[in-house]
Structure 1
């Protein structure tokens, strides 16, 4: 079974926010992503709402026909957003308010008690929990221990090392983390800096990869190739 593609539309919202009004229209973009073949839509609202705004979430949920994935740091505000909108999946990311983009995963051992409480609440609401982690076996096992259903492996370092011409070294920790995830019964997602150059190799080498969430590179490619064509290009890398 091929890996599912979830399109992160944060950068589309960033363009919209550069001007007053609603151009581009996020609801229409989300519908089009699904129409063009994406199996999910991802958003990552941040406290300063510099791209996705909290007010966007119910509007996007209303038009979603595939999988709706909301990422973020599980602050009280984030948890209220999840409670009110009940996405299919909540991806927990330990980013502080001042970071430009997510650049590390959870230490699920150190933060076990906190994540256990958060995960239990999300599961009670019927939301699947994915925890964003670095490809470290202990952190994968820790995600299982707190009750999550999936992990999302942070692929930023993979992309950097792959780009330096060392693909085998880049993917080795991820292949091992995937093996551990399968062993403990966790579903496997991945995301961050995946693109048309490094995605196929990653998907081929990382067994059991259920879903990738891709935003920045995909939206940048869409400027050249168009959104419909770009989504199909990414899907072919995952086939």
Structure 2
């Protein structure tokens, strides 16, 4: 069964819009795990527009499933991850002005940089994943960095699937096939939802984990968090 990791950034966004601690990021992380999620994902950015660096530290003692911290490996981020030692760190090449993640790594161009960063994380027993576009050359490049896993950037699939184009899954299937041959673990995330997750899961061999935030939180406004998590888990069987 593919694991569901819930990205709780949107809860922090809502909290920050009014100040204070409502809704509580910590309590929400506890709840999603109690409801059956197998992981919690956060993605702190330098401007702390949603998840704050303090949240990352506070969550360490509360996440008893898999703790996944995503982000651009700038020095402050690297230091934080090495101190917290989460289950997994997912490297994402965010630009400072990006509203949300909008591209995977060029694993060929940034090969040497990624090798150095990943080596340091792995020396500290932290599983590493690289956010990549569904491109075979980038999968090959990811393998050369020493990463444990890749996270397939699924926005293009989700958009095209919503338009009725199921062939949009094909490059992801090809990349998954290559990753399996290379013994790279496969994660996926970005714009996956209750509408498309079952089709994606059924077509991606070896899918280990999906990280879902925006859609899951939005769906929960209508259907309830506990119910939505149960629905995702059912579709991921």
Give the structure-1-normalised TM-score: 0.98
1:111 aligns with 2:110: yes
2:197 to 191, 194, 199: 199
Residue 141 of structure 1 deviates from its aligned partner by 1.4
Residue 146 of structure 1 deviates from its aligned partner by 0.7
When structure 1 is superposed on structure 2, of 137-146 and 35-44 the one drifting more is 137-146
Q: Deviation string for 1:164-201 (max 9, x for gaps)?
A: 1111x210000000000000010000000000111100
Q: Which residue of 2 aligns with 1:235?
A: 233
2:182 to 181, 184, 203: 184
Residue 83 of structure 1 deviates from its aligned partner by 1.1
Q: Which residue of 2 aligns with 1:38?
A: 37
Deviation above 6 Å: which 4+ runs of structure 1?
Answer: none
Q: Which runs of 5+ in 1 are unaligned?
A: none
Residue 142 of structure 1 deviates from its aligned partner by 1.0
> What is the CA–CA distance in structure 1 between the aligned matches of 2:234 and 2:100, rounded to whole Å?
27
Q: Which residue of 2 aligns with 1:127?
A: 126
Q: Which residue of 1 aligns with 2:67?
A: 68
1:69-84 to structure 2, matched below 5 A, reads 69-84=68-83
What count of residue pairs does the alignment treat as equivalent?
A: 237
Give the structure-2-normalised TM-score: 0.99
SS of residue matched to 2:130: strand
> What is the CA–CA distance in structure 1 between the aligned matches of 2:19 and 2:225, rounded to whole Å?
23
Q: Deviation string for 1:48-99 (max 9, x for gaps)?
A: 1010000101111111110000000000011011011110100000010100
Q: Which runs of 5+ in 2 are unaligned?
A: none
Residue 139 of structure 1 deviates from its aligned partner by 0.8
C-alpha RMSD of matched pairs (Å): 0.6
